[in-house]
Amino acid sequence: MLGIFQFISLACGIVISFFPDEIDRVTGRWRQPPDADPADITRWPTDISRDIVPVSCHSHNDYWRRVPLYSAIEAGCTGVEADVWLFDDELFVGHTRAALTPSRTLRKMYIDPLMKILGKQNPITHFHPDTDQPRNGVFDTDPSQTLVLLIDFKTDGEEAWNYVYTQLTPLRESGYLTYYNGSDIINGPITVVGTGNAPFNRIAASTTYRDIFFDAPLNRLVNNVDRIDINTRLKGRTGNAGQGMSGISDGDIRPDTFNLTNSYYASVSFKKAVGVPWMLHLTDRQIQTIRAQIRAAHRQGLKVRYWGTPDWPRSLRNHVWRVLASEGADMLNVDDLVSATRKDWAPSFSDWWH
């Protein structure tokens, strides 16, 4: 039964991501926005993201969208995800090797578009002759809001590291990246986070400058005070659950190993860390587990993200979203951008057949 439930959830998430919605249909303005006419009072230099209010949601497997990156921003999502594979000295984007194509690269799908978007958000005009410090982000309604670019290293992290770091150069040199300067975090329009096989040792190597942060394992941050009975519940489940541990041995991981100077997210598989809501409702014990994990991550200054949350039925999905939001999870990992950003999560009888 568990296998069937998980298969249905995965299938529903994939199907949803392939169907266009109003978000996909209006993203044309992002790709080819008309030049602003000085006499047109309905337009202004930074209006590319007009009326978009940022929401704490992460566009899971963003490259599956009909319009990657733009659909997520149009919905207001403050996080996007790119799975990268290193082949022939290039970083290709896709869920599996079979899905890779020569044209779908990290540079073409994310780096170059972000440079264009941020260039429009930081214009030089007669009225604005100097570049803002700090730089404006992608959202005109909240220029200080960062957009998280989660890069999932699918191939060997050590081999891919230099390629990822080098391809971020345009964003870095333009002052668009969040970075650690040895004492403080300086927020920028784009925050890059490495997950999957991202090498923590390379991320943490420099003590004076970092602009790629780690996706810490949430279930490893809980100390004995917060643990309740989590240790028993998660026995045998503390291995690699989506975040690579290359460059650091399992025995060297302590609750304080990951902090805001080297990490940004604290993530974990919902099923492995919390369990399956068998009665289509989270139990008190599961909610206590969530509280302990969120409390531990926030103590280290990290933002909580659960991946692999249930997608179906919608009543269960919405219930989990409501609980995570109310308990303080910082980012919802979602496939359905419309439902997530509208926050219309009230129970509905029709949820059972959608």
- Per-residue model confidence as pLDDT tens digits over 129-181: 777 788 999 999 999 999 999 999 999 999 999 999 999 999 999 999 999 99
* 122, 136 contact by CB (below 8 A): yes
Q: Measured between alpha carbons, how far apart are the two ends of the chain, in Å?
A: 20
For residues 267 and 28, what is the distance between their CA atoms, to the nearest angstrom? 33
* 345, 322 contact by CB (below 8 A): yes
Q: How confident is the model at residue 343 (pLDDT cuts 50, 70, 90)?
A: confident
Written as six digits, the tokens of 308 are 């692999």
Rounded percentage of the chain residues whose pLDDT exceeds 70:
79
* pLDDT at residue number 131: 77
Query: Is residue 276 over pLDDT 80?
Result: yes
Give the pTM.
Answer: 0.85
Query: Is residue 91 over pLDDT 90?
Result: yes
Residue bearing tokens 């997608």:
311
- The answer regarding whether domain 2-28+52-123+131-342 maps to CATH 3.40.50 reads no
Of 36-45, 178-187, 228-237, 272-281, the least confident: 228-237
* pLDDT at residue number 18: 55
- Angle between the N-to-C axes of helices 284-299 and 314-327, in degrees from 0 to 180, rounded to the nearest 10: 40
* pLDDT at residue number 27: 62
Q: How confident is the model at residue 97 (pLDDT cuts 50, 70, 90)?
A: very high
3-state secondary structure (DSSP) of residue 337: helix
Using CB atoms within 10 A of its CB, is residue 299 exposed (0-12), middle (13-18) or buried (19+)?
A: middle
Q: How confident is the model at residue 228 (pLDDT cuts 50, 70, 90)?
A: very low
Q: DSSP letters of 233-301?
A: HTTT--S-SSB--TTS-GGG--TTSS-TTTEEEEEEEHHHHT---TTSS--HHHHHHHHHHHHHHHHTT
Q: DSSP class of residue 110? A: I
Rounded percentage of the chain residues whose pLDDT exceeds 90:
64
99/47: higher pLDDT: 99
- Residue ranges in the chain assigned as alpha helix (H): 2-18, 22-25, 28-31, 70-75, 106, 112-121, 157-167, 169-173, 200-203, 230-233, 270-273, 284-299, 314-327, 337-342
Q: How confident is the model at residue 73 (pLDDT cuts 50, 70, 90)?
A: very high
Q: How confident is the model at residue 224 (pLDDT cuts 50, 70, 90)?
A: very low
Q: How confident is the model at residue 195 (pLDDT cuts 50, 70, 90)?
A: very high
Angle at 76 between CA 92 and CA 70, to 5 degrees: 35
* pLDDT at residue number 230: 41
Q: DSSP class of residue 210? A: B
Characterize 208-228 residue by residue with b for buried, 16 or more Cβ atoms within 10 angstroms of its Cβ, and e for exposed: eebbbbbbbbbbbbbeeebbe
Which of the given ranges, 7-21, 30-44, 263-277, has the highest pLDDT on average? 263-277
- By DSSP bridging, strand 55-59 and strand 331-334 are parallel
